[in-house]
């Protein structure tokens, strides 16, 4: 059964700039630069028939291209036990609109609603046992991190295969955002 999620792949120059942030926190597993993405909706494991319905439902999502800017870094987990480091996303009405269209298309199809509020982010590193002072230092050091806005014209349904060497993400279908 494929494990699916919907995300925005990031342009190469953005991924390269994010890749430059890597390092400095013991216990981190940095996400490979080519895998960096902005998740819109985690779907989970679905059987083949469902996957086709999901692809069709996503194909019916209409939204216009929009701009996003990545800014700031933060962590999830507690102060003592951070679980991941992310790059933030500046408020983008276009992004929120697209995410809610995707959410309602999937819920209309019969998927359980995503209970959590959408917190747009780009996961940079997953952590285990990283000293909190080092995490705090990383975040303070990159407090002013900001990249110029870039235009989003597509979103992608990915499959995720969990292997020992980490998750393998495969783009399955790319959907164009239309209009100006």
In the complex, the residues that contact ligand 3AM under the rule CB under 6 A are 5, 39, 42, 123, 160
CB of 126 to ligand 3AM, least distance (A): 8
Nearer to ligand 3AM, 56 or 168 (CB): 168
Does residue 155 contact residue 6 with C-beta atoms inside 8 Å? Answer: yes
On the CB side of 157, CA atoms within 13 Å amount to 22
Distance between CA 147 and CA 38 in Å, rounded? 15
Nearer to ligand 3AM, 41 or 57 (CB): 41
Nearest 5°: phi and psi at 131?
-60, 130
Helices 48-59 and 93-109, interaxial angle, to 10°? 140
Secondary structure letter of residue 128 according to DSSP: S
Nearer to ligand 3AM, 148 or 166 (CB): 166
The residues facing 150 across adjacent strands are: 68
CB of 76 to ligand 3AM, least distance (A): 9
Nearer to ligand 3AM, 156 or 160 (CB): 160
CB of 42 to ligand 3AM, least distance (A): 3
CB of 123 to ligand 3AM, least distance (A): 3
């Amino acid at each position: 059964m494929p494990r699916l999620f919907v995300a925005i792949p990031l342009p190469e120059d953005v991924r390269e700039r994010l890749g430059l942030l890597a390092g400095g926190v013991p216990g981190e597993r940095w996400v490979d630069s080519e895998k960096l993405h902005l998740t819109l909706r985690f779907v989970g494991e679905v059987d083949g028939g469902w996957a086709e319905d999901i692809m069709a439902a996503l194909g019916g999502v209409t939204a216009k291209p929009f701009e996003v800017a990545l800014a700031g870094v933060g962590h999830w987990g507690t102060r003592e036990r951070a679980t991941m480091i992310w790059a933030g996303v500046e408020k983008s009405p276009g992004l929120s609109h697209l995410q809610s269209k995707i959410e309602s298309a999937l819920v209309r199809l019969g998927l359980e609603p995503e209970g959590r509020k959408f917190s747009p982010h780009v996961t940079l590193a997953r952590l285990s046992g990283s000293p909190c002072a080092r995490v705090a230092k990383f975040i303070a050091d990159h407090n002013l991190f900001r990249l110029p806005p870039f235009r989003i014209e597509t979103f992608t349904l990915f499959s995720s295969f969990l292997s020992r060497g980490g998750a393998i993400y495969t783009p399955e279908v790319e959907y164009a955002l239309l209009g100006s």
